[in-house]
Every structure is written in structure tokens, then in C-alpha cells.
Amino acid sequence: MSSSALILPARRARLIIFDLHGVLVHRPARVGRELSAAEVVAALRDLGVMIRFVTNASSKGPEEIVALLDRFGIPAKTDEVATAGQALAAYLREWHPGSRVLVIGQIGLRQLIADACRDRITIDDAGEANVVVVGRDPGLSEAKLTAAARAARRGAVLLASSVEATVPAAGCCEPGPGHTVSAVEDAMGRRAHVVGKPNPFILEQVLGLGRDVLRDALIVGDTAETDIRLGTAVGAITALYPRPAALVPESAPAADWILDRLEQILLFTGGRDGDDLARAEGICNFQQPDPCDPAPRTVDAILERGLPISTTRRLLPDDLPEHGGCLLDQSHHG
């Protein structure tokens, strides 16, 4: 494909915000000459693009995420990473100082909150809490649900890391935090307020990104109800990757782009001429799209047919819903 035929997206991204699981790690097998996630991230850094990594993992801190990325050949710094566990701790410090907190989740979440909120809150397992925090908890017990119900009778607030239905495991999926949250909601008789994705709090307060910066960002994720909803909430460009295995329901927010290959992200970072364009064209070895596709939405098809950037984004209302959901049949946890 010649430079004159290459049409880049109208909006240039100066910041790429990656979901982790399903996008950079535990991602689909590479096809043909497709670049690895490590190669894509390295190319973006070479182009001078800022990179951030955001995951709804509740039991891991930034140091553990940096170590995980390193195992996949992706260097990162702790200040480039935000987790749902960090978001919960930051939310407690900002909005519930002095509270007694019941933590329902894995030991990593409890430790994150204890370390970050040591001087601001008290962890209470006896049901005298006025805040209940919930993350993924494979060991959820009747005793924990009873403590949550006791806290509810005291008017406790219920906070959740996320409500995704599944999380990726070695070659498969396991029940996600949504199952734990649903059980605790039933026990307490109230809905949880989600602090991780799609709540913009994780970007604005954990990573310190302002709305002016986020308007020049591209958010790449594999789940419409978390990653794409987060992007639309802050006015960012959104891209769904990989192409969903099941139809996304009409109630889910529409991504601006659907990517078949991760390296297509590079087309969002360069100008219409010069070295950046040449590098993007050289790296993205596009395939011929399906000529029978009546409504192409992938970057491949748009480049091939000269279609304009999608304008189907549905913005969220100002009041972000408290409770999200995992509407893709084969979604992953970020």
C-alpha cells in the first residue's frame, strides 16, 4: 500500500491506555506476521507516545503488574500502572477517612488497602464496619456474607473493584469479581458502587490524568462495558481488541474502532506524512478485508475503502451508572 493511499484516523493519539488481560497478556495467538504486544509497545515508545496500563485486577499492586508485563517482554514503570485495588484504596482515603472497613477479597486486596490507608481507616472483620469493599474472592464464605449483612444493618456503604463476569486463567476463564459482588449485594440488600473501570476515578485520581489529556488518548480494551464505557466517559478515542467473539448488545457503548491486529494502533499516532507515517505504514501490513462485509468497522476496511472514522460513539450520561456488567459472552478481566 502506497503512502498516498493510506488514510489515518482523524484524531491523533498522544497517549495510549492499554487494558492488560486479553489485550497485552493472555491475548489471542498471533496470526502470520502480526507483531507481538511487546513489539507494538516498543514501537509506540519509539514514536514518543505516552503509555499507561490500567487493569481491574483488585489483588495486585503496580509492582506486581510491572513484573507481569516484564515477563511478557514489556518494560513499564510503577507510575504508568493503575489497578482496581489501587483505586479502591485511593477512594477510601479520599471519601471515607476514619472509616471501619470490611474487606471481602483476596489477601492482596486486603494488603493493598492496609498499606495505602494505614493512617486513615481501620480494617474490621467483625461486622462493625461502615464501609464494605469487595473484590474477586474465590474463597467467599458464609461467614463473610454474614459480616457484610451485619454491616448493612449499620448502614454500611458498598464499594466494588469491578463486576466483570470472568477472568482469564491458563488457557481458560474463571468466575470473575462479578460473582462475588452479586452475592454480597444480595446479602446487604443494596447495589455496589464500582470504583475500578469504567469509573473515570481510576484514570483521574490514580494516574492523575486530566480530561484535557484524556481527550487526546486512545483507550484499547477487550470489553465494551468496562474499557469502551470508560473511554466514552472521558471523551477518549476507543478501540475494541480483539474483535469480539460474540455480538455486542445494543445496550453496550459502541467503540470508535474494532481492531483485528494490535499493531493497527500505530496508525493513531502518526501524522499524514513524514517519518511517523512511513513507520506506521511499514509496521502495519494490512490484509484485504472481506468484500462481503456490509458495514466494515475495522481499521483494515476503513483504510482499504476510504471510509471515514466511525461516528457511532454513544456518550455516557453525566451520572455514571453505579453498576456495570460484562455483556460480552467471552469477555476477559483487565
Q: What is the CATH number of the domain that holds 130?
A: 3.40.50.1000
Least-confidence region, from 190-199, 259-268, 298-307, 317-326:
317-326
| Rounded Cα distance, 230 and 235, in Å | 9
Of the candidates 53, 333, 27, 18, the residue with the CA atom closest to the CA atom of residue 181: 333
Answer yes or no: is 263 within a domain: yes
Number of domains in the chain: 2
Over residues 192-221, the mean pLDDT reads 97
Return the H-helix or E-strand segment holding 239.
Answer: strand 237-240
Shared domain check, 186 and 233: no
Asked whether the predicted pLDDT for residue 83 surpasses 80, the reply is yes
Asked whether the predicted pLDDT for residue 87 surpasses 90, the reply is yes
| Cβ-proximal residues to 123 (8 Å cutoff; 6+ apart), any chain | 100, 101, 102, 103, 110, 113, 114
Answer for the pair 323, 156: CB distance below 8 angstroms, yes or no.
no
Shared domain check, 218 and 187: no
pLDDT number for residue 325: 28
Domain that holds residue 17: 3-56+200-305
pLDDT in tens, 214-266: 999 999 999 999 999 999 999 999 999 987 766 666 778 889 999 988 989 99
Shared domain check, 173 and 218: no
pLDDT number for residue 221: 94
Answer yes or no: is 77 within a domain: no
